[in-house]
Amino acid sequence: MSGDDLARLAWLILLGSAVGGWLIVESRGRMGQMARQALAWLLILVGLTAGYGLWKDMGLRDPQQAVVRQDGQIVVPRAPDDHFYLTLTIGETPVRFMVDTGATNVVLSDRDTDRLGIDRRGLAFLGTADTANGTIRTARVTLSDVRLEGEPLGNLPAWVGDGPLGISLLGMDFLNRFDKVEMSRDRLVLSR
């Protein structure tokens, strides 16, 4: 624990002691009733805390969008989960990608592969990729009519895996299309 964490813990203990002491003094002779009320408030607090945690985990926030500035730079804000996301339009289908500098290629999730109408049965799974879930077989596809915030990017080589992938990834193949890629604390800037 850091010094700040210890100071917060000491403050919470002091505050809890003051409130607890006041409750004991005020409820002399009615300890059973006070215990029931304290338990009810504790359960309400636990419920509110759990609800807040679920709200954050479900990501029910305003979506963060990339912004194209007048100088042609694309500024991508960091999402609350500390990743950067870009939505590419492929044909007429918007596909949300997580920018992954540790990935070499563009990789489509199962869901996005289906949404784009790519038939896996007709693909030749000749490559392999190491993922967090193990090694999967991969097949190369070409995504046509790819646009980022309305700017045409042409065709984009991508890979489809035969294993589960939760979200599509934009690897270095995509980032290398830009002259300059800058990552700072709260934003990613792509420059052509």
Per-residue pLDDT of the chain (192 residues; tens, 9 = 90+): 677 888 888 888 988 888 878 877 777 777 788 778 878 888 888 888 888 777 766 654 445 566 766 677 888 888 888 888 989 999 889 999 988 888 888 988 888 988 999 888 888 888 887 776 677 788 999 999 888 877 888 899 999 987 777 788 888 888 888 888 888 888 888 887
Which among 78, 16, 68 is positioned nearest to 41, based on CA atoms? 16
Q: What is the pLDDT, as a whole number, of residue 141?
A: 92
Which among 133, 99, 93, 136 is positioned nearest to 117, based on CA atoms? 93
Q: How far is CA 26 from CA 13, 44, 111, in A?
A: 20, 22, 59
Both tokens assigned to 118: 């790519």
Q: What is the pLDDT, as a whole number, of residue 60?
A: 47
* pTM of structure: 0.63
Q: What is the pLDDT, as a whole number, of residue 64?
A: 59
Q: What is the pLDDT, as a whole number, of residue 120?
A: 84
Q: What is the pLDDT, as a whole number, of residue 57?
A: 61
Q: What is the pLDDT, as a whole number, of residue 183?
A: 87
How many CB atoms lie under 10 A from the CB of residue 138? Answer: 22
**Residues 102/82/2/53 CA torsion (nearest 10 deg):** -130
